[in-house]
Amino acid sequence: MALQLYHDTGTTAANLVAEITALRTQRQAVILAHNYEYGEIQDLADYVGDSLGMAQYAAQTAAPVLVVCGVHFMAETAAILSPEKTVLIPDPEAGCSLAASIDAEQLRAWKAEHPGAVVVSYVNTSAEVKAESDYCCTSGNAERVIRAIPEDRQILFLPDMFLGSYLRQQTGRAMEIWAGECHVHAAIRPTMVEQQRSAHPKAEFLIHPECGCVSSTMHYLATGKISADGTHILSTEGMIRHAAASNASQFVIATEIGVLHRMRKANPEKEFLPIDESISCKYMKLITLEKVRNSLRDLTHVVSVEPALAARARGAIERMIAL
C-alpha cells in the first residue's frame, strides 16, 4: 500500500495528481523522476530513470520548465546542461550523503598531490566538484569511461569507494579512490546477502556496484560461497533491462527500494524482493505529490548554477553523455 504523504488532509492523491497535470500543462513543464522516488511520483513523471538518463532527457527536451524529482545535484546537472530553462526541485533539502563526502577544495588538494592525473567524478557530486573534473560517470557507464582513458594516465576516482573498488577489479586499472560512500548503499551488508540467498535460493540476485557488499560479494563468487548462476552486478538501468529479459520469476534486489516499483510495474508476472526494507534514501523520499504541486504552482524552488562555473562543469558532463 502506498504511503500517505500529504500534509493537507483534505487533499487526496487523485486531486493532487489532477492539479499537477493541469499545472504541468499551464507551465509547459516536464517532470523528471529518479528511480528511487516514491511510486506515485514515478507514475506521474514524463521521464523515470537514473542520473544519466535524467541528464540526457533534461538536455534534449524543449520544455521551458523542468521539475526534478530527485536530489539537489540532479537539479544542478539539469541547470548546467540547460541554462535557458527554469529548473525546479520540489524540496531544496533533498541532498545526497555521497555528494557531501567531497567538496571542491578537497578535490583541488587531492589533484595537487597527483599532478597530471585524470579526474573521474561519479555524477553524485556538486557542480563545483564537476568543474574540477575531467569526466563524470554513472554506474551504468563508469567502466566505459575508465577504459577510454589512456593506460599511461593516473586516475583519481571519486567519491564512491565501493564503485571505485569494483571498477578497479573489473578494469585492472590502478586508481586512487576517494573514501566516500552513500549511506543507503553502504548499509547493505554481506549478512543481508547471505540471509536472502539462503531464504530464496532460486531467486536471481541483482546488486548495485555502489553497494557496500560488492567487494565481499565478488569474493563469495570467486570462492564459490555464492553461486555465480543468477548473481548479477548491474547498474540500475542494467537491473531493469535484465529483469525484463530474464526467464526467472523471482529476484532479490540489492539497491534502494524505490526501484522495485518500476520493476514490478514493468513485470507484473514476476516477484521482486528488496534485500532489506530499510534500504531507503530519506532524501529522495522528501519529494511528495504535495511538494511537486507546490513547486509547479509557485515556481519554487529554482536551482541555478553561476555561468562560469556551469561552463567548466559542462565539459565533464558532456564527455559522460558522449560515452
Q: Quick one: pLDDT band at residue 120, thresholds 50, 70, 90?
A: very high
140 phi/psi in degrees, rounded to 5: -75, -30
Between 194 and 79, name the one with better pLDDT: 79
* Residues 82 and 17 occupy one common structural domain: yes
Position 257 pLDDT exceeds 80:
yes
pLDDT band at 7 (very low <50, low <70, confident <90, very high): very low
* 140-184 tens-digit pLDDT: 789 999 999 999 999 999 999 989 998 999 999 999 999 999 889
Indicate the residue among 182, 209, 237 that finishes a domain.
182
Using an 8 Å Cβ cutoff, are 33 and 45 in contact? yes
| Per-residue pLDDT at 215 | 67
- What DSSP assignment string belongs to 97-141? TTGGG--HHHHHHHHHHSTTPEEEEESSS-HHHHHT-SEEE-TTT
Specify if 219 maps to a domain.
yes
Residue 121 lies in a domain: yes
For residue 135, the enclosing domain spans 99-182
What pLDDT was estimated at residue 6? 44
For the domain that residue 119 is a member of, what is the CATH number? 3.40.50.10800
Question: Is residue 194 located within the same domain as residue 166?
Answer: no
Residues 196 and 176 occupy one common structural domain? no
Q: Are residues 193 and 268 in the same domain?
A: yes
Residue 88 pLDDT greater than 70, yes or no: yes
Question: Tens digits of per-residue pLDDT, 39-63?
Answer: 999 999 999 998 878 988 999 999 9
For residue 284, the 8-state DSSP code is G
Do 79 and 21 share a domain, yes or no? yes
pLDDT of residue 72: 96
pLDDT at 2: 39
d(CA 260, CA 247): 18
18 and 66 inside one domain = yes
| Total tally of structural domains belonging to the chain | 3
Residue 79 lies in a domain: yes
Which cell is 248 given? 526467472
Contacts of 60 (CB under 8 A, 6+ apart): none
Read off the pTM: 0.89
Q: Which helix (H) or strand (E) holds 162?
A: helix 161-171
- Which pLDDT score, from 0 to 100, does residue 217 have? 74
Residues 221 and 262 in one domain: yes
Is residue 16 over pLDDT 90? Answer: yes
The CA dihedral of 234, 238, 242, 245, to the nearest 10 degrees, is: -160
Q: 258 versus 2: which is more confidently predicted? A: 258
- Mean of the pLDDT values across residues 174-195? 89
Same domain, 46 and 62: yes
90 and 21 inside one domain: yes
Contact 211, 182 (CB under 8 A): no
Same domain, 37 and 78: yes
- Over residues 3-25, the mean pLDDT reads 78
Query: Do 18 and 91 belong together in one domain?
Result: yes
Mean pLDDT for all residues in the chain:
91
CB 134 within 8 A of CB 118: yes
Report which DSSP code applies to 228. Answer: S
Is 27 in the same domain as 91? yes
Backbone angles phi, psi at 160, to 5 degrees: -85, 110
Instruction: Quick: pLDDT tens for 309-322.
Output: 999 999 998 888 78
Burial (Cβ within 10 Å: 0-12, 13-18, ≥19) of residue 187: middle
Q: Indicate whether 316 belongs to any domain.
A: no
Which amino acid, one-letter code, is at 147?
A: R
Q: Which residue did the predictor score with more confidence, 219 or 56?
A: 56
Q: Final residue of a domain: which of 155, 182, 209?
A: 182
Q: Is residue 81 part of a domain?
A: yes
**Of the candidates 22, 130, 93, 17, the residue with the CA atom closest to the CA atom of residue 300:** 93
Q: Where among 126, 152, 182 does a domain terminate? A: 182
Asked if residue 1 has pLDDT above 70, the reply is no
Q: Average pLDDT of 84-109? A: 96
**Would 318 be classed as within a structural domain?**
no
Q: Which three cell numbers stand for residue 126?
A: 556538486
pLDDT for 188 beyond 90 = no
How much of the chain exceeds pLDDT 70, in percent? 94
Mean pLDDT of 184-202: 88
Residue 1 inside a domain? The answer is: no
